Amino acid sequence: MKKIYITTPIYYVNDLPHIGHAYTSVICDSIARFYKLHGFAVNFTTGTDEHGLKVEQAARKSNKSPNDFVDNVSSNFLELTKKLQLSNNDFIRTTEKRHHIAARHFWINLEKNDQIYIDKYSGWYSVKDEAYYQEKELVKNNNGDLVTIDGGSVDWVEEESYFFKLSEWQEKLLDYYDNNKNFVYPESRFNEVKSFVKSGLKDLSISRTSFSWGIKIPNTKHVMYVWVDALVNYLTSLGYPDIGKNQDYWQNSYHIIGKDILKFHAVYWPALLLANKLNLPKRIIAHGWWTNEGKKISKSIGNTIDPNEIINKFGLDQFRYFLTREISLGNDGDFSEKAFLNRINSDLSNNLGNLIQRVMKFIYKNYNNCLPSNIDSKLKGYNLINDGYELLPFIDAKIANFEISRCLEEIFTYIDKLNKFVDENEPWKVFKIDKDKAGNGLSILVETFRIIGILLQPFIPNFSRNLLDLLNINDDERNFKFLNIENIIKKDHIFNKPVALFPRYEK
C-alpha cells in the first residue's frame, strides 16, 4: 500500500487560532482525504508549538505559569481541529515527553556529527517571529530603526550560544535544489529560497540562555532554539528516534506551511536533516496570507477573523469551500463577508444544491423515489457521465501539483454543464408527454450526482456524505475506484427522502 505523510506546521500558542491556521489545516485535510479515497495509507499530523520567549512573555502577561498558559491555548487549537472535522492521525504538542525525547536525540546526533559548537552570539533577534535575522534581511522604518520586512521590531542580542554549522551546508543545499526541481512550491517561492542561500549562509545560533521556557540542553544552562525544537515535531509524530515502520511515510512527506516560515522549512530544516544524516521531505508547499477586506489582519487593529464564528454562522462546508476555491494555493487571498456570501450562494446554493434538490424531489414525487431507467450509451446526455468519470485523472494531476482551487473550478464547470442539460431538456415538461423519456434524462443526472458526491468528498465532506446518503450509496462504495461504468446506479435503485443540501444566505 502506498503511503503519504501530510503535515501542517505546528501552530504557535501565543494567541488564538485565526483564518490562516484554518486555511492551512483545511488544505492539508483536503489532500489527506483525497489520497485516502485513492487507497493510500495516509498519516496526517498537526499540533502546537509551545516553547520560546514569546510564549514565556505571553504567559507572564496573563499571570499564568507557562505550563498552564500553553495547556489553555493549545486546547483552542485542538478544538479547532474538531470544529474543522480534520482527519488528522495525530495532534502533537512540543511540551509532550515524546517530543522532548526526540528533540534531544536529534541534538545529540548533531553533536556526534560535529555540527555544533559553542560561541558568543551577537545579532538581531525578533521575539515576535522567534527568529534571528541577518542585517541584509531587515529594512529601516520611518524612524531609521531596523525592523523585519513586515515592520516587526528586532533587538540586538549578545549572549553565549550553541551554533549549528549551517554555512557548511550552503553548496550541498544548492546542489539538492538543483537536483530536486519541485522541492518547494510554488516556483516563485523556490527562487526566493535559492537566492537567499546563494547570498551566503552564516552559522545559526540554536540555543538561548536569556529565558528558560524550552527544551533543556543536558548539563548546560541553555534551552534549545525554538525553531530547532519545533521542526523536529515532524519526526516525533513518526516515532523518532525509532521511526522503523514509519520510514515509508517520511520518504513521502509533504510540509504545507505559510510563506512567512519558508526559510525555516526550506533552508534550516533541510540542512539540519542532512547534518543528522536523515532524508529530506519530498516537497514543501508555501501558501499565501489572508487579508480582511484588503487590509492586513492584525490583532492591534481588531480585524482578526475567527474561523469558529464563520462556521457557526454559515456552516463548515461553506467555509471550507470558500477557503479552497477562492484563491490558488501560493497566492494571497482576501476575505470579506460579501465575497464569501457571493461564492457560497452562487456555487453551492444556486448551482449545486438547487440542481440536486429539484431533480431528486421530482423523482421522489413522480418515480416512487427510484431510478427511473437503466442507463446506457444510447441515452441523450450519456456523454455527461463519461465527462464525469474523466474528471478524476484531471483532479489527480492538479492535486499532485497542489492546485486545489483548479480541482473545484473544474468540478463546478461540470456542474454548470448539468444545469445547462436540465435547462435545455426540461424533464418536468417532457414528463407530461413522455414519462420514460423524462426518466432517461433524470437517470443520467442522478449518476452524475453520484460522481459529484464522490469527487467532492475531500473538499466539502459533509455535503458529500449527505448527498451519497440521499442516493443510498453504500459506505464501502464511496472511494475513487467506484468512479466507473461498472458501478453505475441501476434502474429501480431506491433513494432516501430528499432534503435541502445548501441553504441560501441573504446579504
Class of domain 341-487: mainly alpha
Query: Residue 44's closest CA among 98, 100, 92?
Result: 92
Can you give the pLDDT at residue 197? Answer: 97
Distance CA 262, CA 473 (A): 43
Q: Which residues of 462-497 are buried (b: 16+ CB within 10 A; e: fewer)?
A: ebbbbbbebbebeeeebebebbeeeebbeeebebee
pLDDT in single tens digits along all 507 residues of the chain = 899 999 999 999 877 899 999 999 999 999 999 999 999 999 999 999 999 888 888 889 899 999 999 999 999 999 999 999 999 999 999 999 999 999 999 999 999 999 999 999 888 888 777 777 888 888 888 888 888 887 888 888 888 999 999 999 999 999 999 999 999 999 999 999 999 999 999 999 999 998 899 999 988 999 999 999 999 999 999 999 999 889 999 999 999 999 999 999 999 999 999 999 999 999 999 999 998 888 877 666 677 889 999 999 999 999 999 999 999 998 999 999 999 999 999 999 999 999 999 999 999 999 999 999 999 888 888 999 999 999 999 999 999 999 999 999 999 999 999 999 999 989 999 999 999 999 999 999 999 999 999 999 999 999 999 999 999 999 999 999 999 999 999 999 999 999 889 988 876
For every residue of 413-468, DSSP letters joined together read HHHHHHHHHHHHH-HHHHHHH-HHHHHHHHHHHHHHHHHHHHHTTTTSHHHHHHHH
List the domain boundaries for the chain. 3-287, 341-487
155 phi and psi, to 5 degrees?
-115, 145
At which residue does the C-alpha cell 492546485 appear?
403
Name residue 119's beta-bridge partners.
161
Distance CA 507, CA 500 (A): 20
Can you give the pLDDT at residue 507? Answer: 62
First to last CA, the chain: 48
CB distance 214 to 51 below 8 Å: yes
Task: Determine if the peptide bond prior to 241 is cis (ω within 30°).
Answer: yes
Q: The domain 3-287 belongs to what CATH superfamily? A: HUPs (3.40.50.620)
Can you give the pLDDT at residue 159? Answer: 86
Question: pLDDT tens digit string along 321-352?
Answer: 999 999 999 899 999 999 999 999 999 999 99
Can you give the pLDDT at residue 218? Answer: 84
Q: Which pTM was predicted?
A: 0.93
